[in-house]
């Protein structure tokens, strides 16, 4: 097989949580460009459907939008069921939905802590295991979790104890699922982005400080995550499981 053929996703079916914007949108665009049909899942159902229409029109693939709260086991199960009924199977799952609440630890409420952990860590567990059950029955699949460089380092100057803890948890969850499912042909990997210039943080007052601390002296662009996303979703990474890919312009190296 030609090496480039291994990156082809024609006929594959992918789901992306938090896929209506930002990093998730770029993951969905990457796999759609390679031929995969895509389900966009988001807490904002209207935005998910609009994004699905955009991707279908641009890449000429089948796309659907699904409203789902990844902290709800029932909604996650429904999300995967709706996708499987519409598209026939689940081959690729990007567990990407996440939030950050930057509050000093001594001021953080239990509710704030719980919200970050529920979305960033429990949501990944629920999505990965729900999709994983379909993949196990099908004989294989690829799960890609969005972790963060914050799972490796403590970011400064912003206080984000819950976010850091949740993303470190995602990395170990990824490794644990990879080991459990290695003999089932279900691969589980994670991507740990550095500071990425999404619309959600564009204009943030700390951007000059973050770029000053980075060896690359700049923020990353969401499109710069698409290469590793496509690699992990495709047969090019057939022997890659349990790995975390840090994409941060060398930020965590110093």
Which residues are designated catalytic? 148, 163, 167
**Separation of alpha carbons 122 and 33, rounded Å:** 30
DSSP state for residue 122 in the 8-state scheme: I
Cα-Cα-Cα-Cα dihedral sign, residues 165, 167, 171, 172: positive
**Separation of alpha carbons 118 and 169, rounded Å:** 12
**Separation of alpha carbons 166 and 120, rounded Å:** 6
DSSP state for residue 252 in the 8-state scheme: G
Q: Which two tokens stand for residue 143?
A: 């799960």
Residue 2 has a CB neighbour count (10 Å cut-off) of: 7
């Amino acid at each position: 097989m030609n090496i480039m053929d291994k990156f082809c996703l024609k006929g594959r079916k992918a789901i992306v949580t938090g896929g209506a914007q930002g990093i998730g949108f770029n993951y969905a665009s990457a796999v759609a460009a390679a031929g995969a049909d895509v389900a966009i899942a988001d807490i904002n159902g209207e935005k998910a459907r609009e994004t699905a229409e955009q991707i279908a029109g641009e890449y000429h693939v089948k796309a659907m939008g699904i409203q789902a709260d990844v902290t709800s086991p029932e909604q996650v199960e429904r999300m995967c069921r709706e996708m499987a009924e519409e598209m026939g199977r689940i081959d690729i799952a990007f567990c990407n939905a996440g939030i950050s609440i930057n509050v000093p630890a001594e001021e953080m409420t239990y509710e704030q802590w719980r919200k970050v952990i529920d979305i960033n860590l429990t949501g990944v567990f629920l999505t990965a295991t729900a999709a994983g059950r379909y993949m196990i029955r099908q004989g294989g699949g690829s799960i890609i979790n969005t972790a963060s460089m914050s799972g490796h380092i403590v970011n400064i100057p912003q206080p984000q104890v819950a976010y850091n803890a949740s993303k470190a948890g995602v990395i170990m969850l990824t490794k644990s699922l990879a080991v459990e499912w290695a003999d089932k042909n279900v691969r589980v990997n994670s991507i740990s982005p550095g500071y990425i210039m999404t619309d959600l943080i564009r204009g943030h007052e700390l951007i000059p400080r973050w770029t000053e601390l980075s060896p690359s002296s700049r923020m990353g662009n969401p499109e710069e995550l698409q290469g590793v996303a496509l690699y992990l979703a495709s047969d090019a990474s057939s022997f890659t499981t349990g790995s975390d890919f840090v994409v941060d312009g060398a930020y965590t190296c110093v």
